[in-house]
Amino acid sequence: GAVVSQHPSWVICKSGTSVKIECRSLDFQATTMFWYRQFPKQSLMLMATSNEGSKATYEQGVEKDKFLINHASLTLSTLTVTSAHPEDSSFYICSALRDGGSQPQHFGDGTRLSIL
Amino acid sequence: QKEVEQDPGPLSVPEGAIVSLNCTYSNSAFQYFMWYRQYSRKGPELLMYTYSSGNKEDGRFTAQVDKSSKYISLFIRDSQPSDSATYLCAMREPGGGADGLTFGKGTHLIIQP
């Protein structure tokens, strides 16, 4: 089945640093990848949609200058949290969509980000 | 505004029982419906994927969609302790899949041995 790999799985860093999270589709090409954020006991909230070779589309309320998304290839999208602060601590999850309108999204295992 | 309602639970049932999980939604444009299982500190795992109204069965899992009532269900037969997890319903409108999913808050399910 489809596999999406996300790295790292857990990050702890000081306030003010930038953190990069990678999302890879391992056995298929993903023209579209999505980034979600999940707070404890809450559902996944879509942050942005990433299309290969073009700028990401951000949901309302998500700062595009703070959450930089790059989708340079059909198998890799990255999310960089710039100048992270404690309120950015969350569980970040990516998903990838296999080319084709009727396909479901497949999710990575998430990255737990803790900002001290 | 898109909205999906799902009882967060926890829902606790004895091993072997039939589990019924449900979601309601308000956006009649939703056409694709999914159920994901999420273990603690893991990403969601796709369980069932259905289009429009109807039933779909896969092993111990059955998904039902009633678009007229804007109501979807997931049934788990012969529940096992390993089924203990959070179950998320998700849905989206047609449009090439380029839209992100709208999720329910998830139901925390506990299967008692």
Tell how many helices (H) and how many strands (E) occur in chain A: 0, 11
Q: How would DSSP label each residue in A88-111?
A: G-EEEEEEEEESSTTPPEEE---E
Chain A residues closer than 8 Å to B51 by CB: 102
pLDDT of residue A20: 97
pLDDT tens for each residue of A48-78:
998 888 889 999 999 999 999 998 888 999 9
Buried-exposed string B37-58: b where 16+ CB fall within 10 A, e elsewhere:
bbeeebbbbbbbbbeeeeeeee
Chain A residues closer than 8 Å to B10 by CB: none
pLDDT of residue B97: 55
List the end-to-end C-alpha distance of chain B, in Å, as a whole number.
41
Cβ distance B44 to A103 less than 8 Å, yes or no, reads: no
Cβ distance B105 to A42 less than 8 Å, yes or no, reads: yes
Mean pLDDT per 10-residue section of chain B, whose length is 113 residues:
84 97 94 93 91 92 96 97 96 72 93 95
